[in-house]
Amino acid sequence: MDIISFAAFTLLVAVIAWWSTRKTDEKSSDGYFLGGRSLTGPVIAGSLLLTNLSTEQIVGMNGVSFRDGIPIMAYEVVAAIAMVFTAFVLLPKYLKSGIATIPQFLENRYGKSTKTIVSLLFLLGYAISMLPTVLYSGALAINTMFDIPEKLGMNPEPALWATVWAIGIIGSIYAIFGGLKAVAVSDSINAVGLIIGGSLIPIFGLMKIGDGNVLTGLKTLTTALPEKFDIIGGPDSDVPFWTLFTGMIIVNFYYWGTNQAIIQRALGAKNLKEGQKGLLLAAFIKILGPFIVVLPGIIAFYIFNGDLANADEAYPMVVKAVLPVAFIGFFAAVLFGAILSSFNSALNSSVTLFGLDFYKEYINKNASESQVVKAGKTFGIILALFSMGIAPLLYGVQGGIFTYLQELNGTHSVPILAIVIVGIFSKRVSGKAANIAILFSVVTYLVTLYVIKPNISFLHLMGILFVLTIIIMFVVSYFVPRETDYKQEYTKQVDITPWQYVKPVGYLVVAAVIGLYIYLS
């Protein structure tokens, strides 16, 4: 019965995705890379949420909350503020230029060399950190929850390899051969399933603790583990409180405003109104995220008395302990969809970046749109195989998979966010200044974090480096400024009339985040 329900839901998603994309011209760049610029607010919101809410989030963040408690929720709720900023400031600028990739925007602002450097940073980031961690965390969750090694008669590590490759192959088919619209539609369906299925875990967990009563379970949990509900966090916390004003802002503003794998959904909006609606709807739901990605980890700590060798196994272990058998097939299907979502979203963005920013620019300048799409798909296959090859090597990574991912992402998140923000708010900062700042930021971050190893949170290091990167851009531009002030042109590819309720809804989201922190402090 579990296998039937799993297969039925997975097949249903695939059929709906195919039906929704059958009339989209997948041979054109806009059709394949941006879904024909036809995405509506709900589809954008669903795709944004599920691209983000995958096993590296669910497994990784619950692993951190198992150790550290609720301070890790900052990654979720501060994201809502970043999405408001993107809806207010960044998306109107992007859609005005009619771009398909963030590097294209940077080319308009700084020049071709800056675009190439940033495209390369994105691709390296996806290849080394995002794609492998999604595959690893997804395979770990599936194997632990459903006893795959035991059923296959294999040891955990060989079974992990098998599951990684199974997920990778299926995800590659979605991403490489379906295009953005297939990814976005399947994401939206799976998002509903994941929110429902993900919410069941803490509910059943609290019922188990409270002898059938959710409120009793919550009271028991908060009484027994008050230190886990201290949102301020101590000096040894994964997220000390003051990092909210340094690296946490950078992590979220980069991720929701400039990360190609995320923002590509909003770039595919049929107009600015739909893009803003999608971002703000996702922001509201994001505030509720800790219920799914933080609370189960604390429940696991209570149920297992804090006795797990690998904190990243906290979530799959609590699922096994509390989820009724009748829900296992459905939950496996939506979790599988979440894994595929993050994997195929990053892969689709990589295909987009390579096709438009490398193949068309440097390899075949006279390539037709179908040739660009074909070249991107070929690159996607190679990248998928590479990711599947290194993902199992993350088994047992020190500090947990989520922290590993965030630390590594700082290499490219700091310089990319800095040059985008400066590029929007200044007219005279030059391309040479941007290139020097990127090089400085990447080298300094890697040397400081992995060689010098200072006794401060990597989030504080990101905050310090972000300020220094911006200062360097202005200093270099003082001596080597642009020849003329930058003026953004309106390509008229997309209607950029803003949604009339964007400001009140955005302010409401920000107020809700601040209120939540005040309530929990």
Residues 430, 432, 435, 436, CA torsion sign: negative
Closest CA to 47 of 332, 340, 262: 262
With 60 as the cut, is the pLDDT of residue 254 above it? Answer: yes
With 70 as the cut, is the pLDDT of residue 188 above it? Answer: no
Distance CA 68, CA 66 (A): 6
Question: Is residue 511 situated within a structural domain?
Answer: no
Q: Report pLDDT for 29.
A: 47
Distance CA 91, CA 105 (A): 11
Is residue 374 within 8 Å of 86, Cβ to Cβ?
no
Q: Report pLDDT for 31.
A: 47
Query: Model confidence at 222, in pLDDT bands (50, 70, 90)?
Result: very high
What's the mean per-residue pLDDT of the chain? 85
The mean pLDDT of 96-101, rounded to a whole number, is 84
With 70 as the cut, is the pLDDT of residue 161 above it? Answer: yes
Give phi and psi for 495, each to the nearest 5: -70, 120
* Interval 275-306: pLDDT, tens: 999 999 999 989 988 999 999 999 999 999 98
With 70 as the cut, is the pLDDT of residue 163 above it? Answer: yes
Q: Report pLDDT for 502.
A: 95
Residue 324 is part of a domain; what is its CATH number? 1.20.1730.10
Q: Report pLDDT for 43.
A: 83
Q: Report pLDDT for 134.
A: 85
Question: Is residue 513 situated within a structural domain?
Answer: no
With 60 as the cut, is the pLDDT of residue 25 above it? Answer: no
Question: Is residue 426 situated within a structural domain?
Answer: no
- Up-side HSE of residue 110: CA atoms within 13 Å toward CB? 33
Q: Report pLDDT for 30.
A: 47
Question: Is residue 88 situated within a structural domain?
Answer: yes
Distance CA 237, CA 196 (A): 30
Distance CA 396, CA 104 (A): 38
Q: Report pLDDT for 207.
A: 95
Q: Report pLDDT for 500.
A: 94
Distance CA 83, CA 508 (A): 13
Question: Is residue 31 situated within a structural domain?
Answer: yes
Each as own residue / partner, the long-range contacts of residues 157-163 (CB below 8 Å, 24 or more positions apart, any chain) are 157/392, 157/395, 160/136, 160/392, 160/395, 161/392, 163/138, 163/139
Q: Which of 40-54, 336-350, 422-436, 482-496 has the highest mean pLDDT?
A: 422-436
DSSP character string of 121-167: HHHHHIIIIIHHHHHHHHHHHHHHHTTHHHHHT--HHHHHHHHHHHH
Q: Report pLDDT for 440.
A: 96
Closest CA to 135 of 366, 329, 352, 395: 395
Question: Is residue 6 situated within a structural domain?
Answer: yes
Q: Report pLDDT for 18.
A: 57
SS3 content of the chain, % helix, strand, coil (to 5): 80, 0, 20
**By percentage, how much of the chain surpasses pLDDT 70?**
88
Query: Model confidence at 186, in pLDDT bands (50, 70, 90)?
Result: low
Query: Model confidence at 19, in pLDDT bands (50, 70, 90)?
Result: low
* CB count in 10 Å sphere of residue 378: 15
Is residue 45 within 8 Å of 278, Cβ to Cβ?
yes
CB-count exposure of residue 437 (10 Å: 0-12, 13-18, 19+):
buried
Name the DSSP letter for residue 309: S
Q: Residue 96: give the domain boundaries.
A: 2-395
The mean pLDDT of 489-512, rounded to a whole number, is 92
* Interval 43-97: pLDDT, tens: 888 878 877 777 778 888 999 999 899 999 999 999 999 999 999 999 999 999 8
Is residue 133 within 8 Å of 388, Cβ to Cβ?
no
The mean pLDDT of 171-175, rounded to a whole number, is 68
Question: Is residue 501 situated within a structural domain?
Answer: no
**By percentage, how much of the chain surpasses pLDDT 90?**
40
What total of structural domains would you count in the chain?
Answer: 1
Question: Is residue 167 situated within a structural domain?
Answer: yes
With 50 as the cut, is the pLDDT of residue 414 above it? Answer: yes
Name the residue type at position 218. L
With 80 as the cut, is the pLDDT of residue 326 above it? Answer: no
Distance between terminal CA atoms of the chain? 45
* Interval 342-387: pLDDT, tens: 777 777 778 778 888 888 888 888 888 788 878 888 888 888 899 9
Closest CA to 410 of 453, 456, 467, 463: 463
Helix (H) or strand (E) holding 412: helix 401-425
Query: Model confidence at 1, in pLDDT bands (50, 70, 90)?
Result: low
Query: Model confidence at 15, in pLDDT bands (50, 70, 90)?
Result: low
With 80 as the cut, is the pLDDT of residue 308 above it? Answer: yes
469 to 159, 258, 384, 436, 438: CA distances (angstroms): 44, 17, 32, 9, 8
Name the residue type at position 492. K
